[in-house]
Amino acid sequence: MASSRSMEIVALGGLGEIGMNLMVYGYEDKLLVVDCGLAFPGIDTPGVDIIIPDVGYLVANRDRVVGFVLTHGHEDHVGAMPYVWPDIESPIYGSAMTLGLLRGKFREHRLLDKATMIEVGNRQPFQVGPFNLCFIQVSHSIVDSSALAIRTDLGTIIHTGDFKIDHTPVDRRPTDLYSLAQYGEHGVLALLSDSTNINRRGATISEKVVAEAFAETFAKAQSLIIVATFASNIQRIQQIFDAAVAVNRRIVISGRSMQTNIEVARSLGFLHIPEGIIVDARSFSGMSRQDIVVISSGSQGEQNSSLTRIAHGEHREISIQPGDMVILSARFIPGNEQTIWSLVNRMSRSGAEVIHEHNMPQIHVSGHAPQEDLKLMLALTRPKFFIPIHGEIRHLHSHRLLAIQMGVAQENALVAENGHRIVLNRDTISIDGQIPSGRTFVDGKVIGDISDIVLRDRRHLSEDGMVVVVLVMEKSSGLMLQRPELLTRGVVYEENNRDLLEQAKAAVEEALLLGPKGMDFADDEGAGPMELTQRAVRRFFKKKLGRRPAVIPLVMEM
């Protein structure tokens, strides 16, 4: 632990990657956790539902944790809370919308009655252990987002969270430049700033541009309109409602997350919806298609999402017909492009006009600060030390160079990765050691039991398939009573490859007859029927097909 005249800062997620944000601040032997997010699985994690940070360090030091502070309600900042919080059980601080969304998650996990959640407004200082904290209002793609000022005897640290600088946001809650400038005037020891859009030049385009795009597209639509966006983007959802009202259309909400977030935002006053405009999806078939706008989740083509089910004709009520218009009002997140384009192709094949950021850029604006916004953040706060956060390594290094260009001394701008223990005092900043960090996989109801070995096996199965070999053997003698049976999945189509499978059976029989030495398995002289079968089948398919399927021998003794 750093001395009382220094602070330690450790990222357990969010540095060197997009998502899974979790930052720990340590001072006077106490730990403050800022955000606790998840990441979504990629092609290298088949079957995994979500990925959360490894918080073994926090669990081992749970008595030192004084609280969780959440900057906003996006999944990559709060999604891991229901999985992490039960092992630590510290108070949770956040804005009205953030806690509103979190309560839904905790209710689902049967944790709501156990948790202490404390709602805090912007510019309202509050004390958590040795940390004097204050939320600073910022614009982002979800309402009620905040940066965080962390004050100790050492000095003031500004943690931006996710932000952009939109002077005319839909919710009329722009980034609080005045407060940021005030902190800068009094002295900011360190700035930790969002790096996601560091490589985008220019300044933020106002969300009002999207409203104009909706007005244009809605006015020319002749049939059903489906708009897919992130369920958390309340400002965007408000614009969809406004555009629908302007052309006298009613709204159908499709998708569980969309329903939940709209209900929470409406109850807290962040969404203003005219009475009677929302109709139940079950009424869809009885209404004229040109009178309806469907607001749907699934803009990233997520499996089983509302839009994916609609596109595949698997939705109970809603379908796509020729002449319909589908609007993807969201960014194509890197890694999702192929899935999204497949969805676009399917909807186009059904006769829909599909509008997205590539053929109409103004249909979406980012929630993250581009270069000019990041420069303004640095200019207002004037930090002595700078640590780029929220981004891949290339983003962090680019942001460090920008900070140096803006006047931060080269030795005071530090790029760190997950697990690095940053030690900060009034005069120096450095990396001093490593804290255990990593990823924990959540698969169904199982947390943390999915190891890299299991994922390797899943990838193996997906790439090379599986062969099950059934051996019927006499218990007393160990002799085979009938020929082996082979069942393949993902290797060959059995109906068209019977000769090949007969050869594979013969290879098993030969291995069992000759034994390890006869099969040149000299390194495994004690091998029994299961081991011999496994190795013989692997060798056979490697030689014949160039593949190494997973082989599962089953021995039935009689």
How many residues belong to the chain? 558
Q: β-strand 22-27 against 439-443: which pairing, if any?
A: unpaired
Distance CA 189, CA 392 (A): 24
Identified catalytic residue from 368, 395, 399, 420: 368
Query: Per-residue b/e over 48-74, b at no fewer than 16 CB within 10 Å?
Result: bbbbbbbbbbbeebeebbbbbbbbbbb
Please state, as a whole number, how many other Cβ atoms lie within 10 Å of the Cβ of residue 86. Answer: 13
Is 50:105 a contact under the CB 8 Å cutoff?
no
In the block, tokens 């800022």 appear at 34
- Which residues are CB-neighbours of 135 under 8 A, at least 6 positions away? 95, 120, 121, 122, 123, 124, 146, 147, 148, 149
Concerning whether 29 is annotated as a catalytic residue, the answer is: no
Q: What are phi and psi of 169, to 5 degrees?
A: -70, 160
Which strands make up the sheet holding 429-434, listed edge to edge?
A: 117-119, 92-94, 65-69, 30-34, 22-27, 7-13, 420-424, 429-434
Is 23:68 a contact under the CB 8 Å cutoff?
no
Identified catalytic residue from 76, 194, 443, 464: 194
Q: List for the chain the helix, strand, coil content (%; round to 5).
A: 35, 25, 40
Concerning whether 171 is annotated as a catalytic residue, the answer is: no
Distance CA 306, CA 326 (A): 13
Residue 39 pairs in a beta bridge with 51
CA-wise closest residue to 96 among 219, 2, 234, 209: 234
Please give the positions annotated as active site. Answer: 194, 368
